A and B are shown apart, each in its own frame.
Chain A
Amino acid sequence: MTTPLLEIRNLSTAFPIRRGIFSRTVGHVRAVDDVSLTIGRGETLGLVGESGCGKTTLARTLLLLEKAHGGTITFDGTELTQASPNQIRRLRPRLQVVFQDPYESLNPRMTVMEIVTEGLITHGRIRRREMEGTATELLHDTGLGPEMLHRYPHEFSGGQRQRISIARAIAMKPDLILCDEAVSALDVSIQSQILNLLMDLRERHGLSYLFISHDLSVVRHIADRVAVMYLGRLVETGTAEAIMQQPQHPYTRALIAAIPKAGGPRRDKPLRLPGDVPSPANPPPGCPFHPRCAFAQDRCRTERPALEPCGDDAEGDTFRREVACLRKDEI
């Protein structure tokens, strides 16, 4: 078996909670709590969960924008949390990101040409006089015409801006692109254009994606494997098909049941989750999901379930199904 492109082991990221006039640290919010994940070459991993579950913090930690409090991030054989600034500078171009808000993630004072070639210039990969030719190619690759080169971001619609963000990301010839809610702000007709573009580029350039979204139907469409996050922890992983067709964890089940699906069966009162997601600053003891879980028993309130293989998938299979639930074999 080849080594995966990205391997995360027991990663945790915490933010201090400060109180009072001296801003004393009174505790920590564990935004990402003991998460392990792998992404293979050419593979798309979907990461889903509700707001505040830690998806974005996980992405920011991978980009070294947040400090990891524990665990390792191994990218193509290099351990990022221990890497030297030099090593990081060399690896950074291979790990790119596309953000949710195409209105705030592009510099309004730069032309499209400057935006998409900025990284290449910074890393000395092209000279200034090559900018125009390179930018034209990149725009062509993402479905934009050369007449856009000298325009500014405000002249573009949301969908076109997201194409510019994608052109900027692929300019560095990355191995992995983190898409953080990259299509969530777009209308359906534009969203499908961008999803098609991402799938085309993946095929053409052999890219891997970490595709973060709260929208399970989008994730199901583009991802090979899916990881479901709740309160900073992974509760279930498996192939996109397996997760959508046979969700095992009670949270995944409720999440999938809650998606209104056009043309699907209409239920008067489908499986409902009571209450809100608890505050990550004060997570419940035991299984973090137990206060909202219909299957919770006494031991769920005290014992913390680990992510463990589940079902009859072959041992050692990279696509195996993992579930963090004490009662996974009973329910």
Chain B
Amino acid sequence: MTAERILEVAGVHKSFDKNKVLDGVDLDLDRHEVVCLIGASGSGKSTLLRCINLLERVDEGDIRFEGASIAREVKDVDRLRSRIGMVFQAFNLFPHMNVMHNITLGPEEALGLDRREAKERAEALLERFGLSDKSEEYPDRLSGGQQQRVAIVRALAMRPQMLLLDEVTSALDPELVAEVLTLIRELAEEGMTMLIATHEMGFAKDIAHRVAFLDAGKILEEGPPAKIFEEPENERTRRFLQRIIAAGRL
């Protein structure tokens, strides 16, 4: 099997004022691969995802998506973003639009689909993830878990080449986490390429092809989940996982 490289992150640095958040990150992703980014809050997970989606510009280093460098000169930022889906910790649904409209906005306005096509696409996705009865609801009326599932559907409606998930269950009540993780697992089984920043270690262990441990803006260790979780090489990885185990999260 020759894997196709979809994303290459090389030596990426990013600071906010004097605060160095990313300090030389290297990370590659193949198509159909699921990589989980783990690490303490503030280790740079979100910033890395935001850099890949060009919501932040990198200071140094390069990011290549589907072979082309996107870190510096991108002719069409909007088109690039429409090919990379992003799901946020706080859902970020549009509160003034119902579920259907939240999902069709991107396909209609960024991809230029006509209303009927966009609607069909949305309906099919809602149906598939058991959200059909919510299509007329406004986000405020949905549970956190439903909102996050809608946010994932919204990203999927763009038919992205890759999904970036930024701690998508961190804002959820514990009993609502499972429904979101189940959906993500389904996507993984289908071969969706995903880069997932997460605190759900059990989930990462389960779903990831590779796990990368990010600490103080650097990837200290990466490898198959079995290796990272069972026999971490780096001292800091070990200590991080011990704290997680002590907190009963693994």
Task: Specify whether A and B are partners.
Answer: no
- Residues of B in contact with A (beta carbons under 8 Å apart): none
